[in-house]
Amino acid sequence: MSLRMWCGLLVGTLCLRLVLGWYLPVSPDEAYYWVWAHAPAAGYLDHPPMVALWIRAGCALFGDGGAGIRWIGTMASMFAIPFLAQAIRDFHAPFPEPSARGDDGGVIRGVALLQATLAMGVNAVVMTPDTPLLFFITVMLWAVGRLMATGHARWWLVCGAALGLAFDSKYTAVLPGAGIVAWLLLHGAGRAWLRRPAPWLGGIVALAAVSPVIWWNATHHWASLLRQGGRVGDW
């Protein structure tokens, strides 16, 4: 299938998701997050506030029904595609084999695989905290890919901002953050970066982004972090 046909298929998928988001009834979880959107705070018992911010912005445009609740999330699933496509090219660029390089075929397969996953299929139509999480993690991957491909230190700032916003979406963003820290500590190329200010500045940007959520938890007996952390103990 040609690149033009894939683009047409993605546009058709977007239109289908917008129609579904407009007409499907609002789920109980979405109604719960809609209540958050009308009670702005830096955190809530179950999750950080990003899902509420997206719903509030969408409802300001399209009202308080399903369309307003879901519109930004559906569009974000499409806006993530160019970030993912560039990340695929950057991560595959060092490989000498033609089949491993980030050509259009590899990009198409990578984008198609993400769009075909259950997580993206559901969260592109139904608004949950995973919806902004997936978008910001994709942006983070794009920034890391650009860092690897160009070696320009400024991408650490973008990576820190994206990771911080992902944490503001759902606490599981700590996992890819831990992966970056492990690379910095355990890999020779990562340790070389630690001698430069850029990754430290990226960490400061990430901390600045998550500071409202940490502050909310600190002033509410760490309720949200303890609730989600308790699930780890259950596992």
CA distance 100 to 115: 21
What pTM was estimated for this model as a whole?
0.90
Q: What is the pLDDT of residues 10-47, one digit of tens each?
A: 788 888 888 888 888 999 999 999 999 999 999 999 99
Which of 50, 73, 53 is CA-nearest to residue 125? 73
Our count of domains for the chain comes to: 1
Backbone angles phi, psi at 151, to 5 degrees: 75, 10
pLDDT digits (tens, 9 = 90+) for 167-226: 999 999 999 999 999 999 999 989 999 999 999 999 999 999 999 999 999 999 999 988
Distance CA 4, CA 61 (A): 31
Percent of the chain past pLDDT 90, that is, above it, reads 66
For residue 56, is it within any domain? yes
Residue 122 lies in a domain: yes
Domain span at residue 112 reads: 3-227
Report yes or no on 76 lying in a domain. Answer: yes
Whether 157 is in a domain gets the answer yes
Q: For the packed helices 155-167 and 130-150, what is the interaxial angle rounded to 10 degrees?
A: 170
Is 233 within a domain? no
